[in-house]
Amino acid sequence: MARMLRHRLHFGPYQTPRFRIVQRVEDLRRGTVRIVGLRAGRIPWPIGQTKRAKSLVLKAALLLPGGGPQGPDAIS
């Protein structure tokens, strides 16, 4: 696959979801998480934390409608 296509963002434009630091949200993969920061990438995405582990937050409202490539089946 061509390098430019491999790193291209699909289905955009993307926007950072609205949230507040220390807000608790429901993550599809890990349950209730507390937002502790933003990822420093092309799209600043919220980072959630359970008791110990940190990871990107996967909210149902942020996934593509119709269960596209980033739908719930692709996550599990």
CA-wise closest residue to 57 among 75, 12, 14, 11: 75
Entry pTM: 0.62
> In whole angstroms, how large is the CA radius of gyration of the chain?
14
Q: What is the pLDDT of residues 36-55, one digit of tens each?
A: 999 888 788 899 999 888 99
Instruction: Give the integer Cα–Cα distance in Å for 48 and 68.
Output: 23
Q: How confident is the model at residue 2 (pLDDT cuts 50, 70, 90)?
A: low
Token pair listed for 49: 């934390």
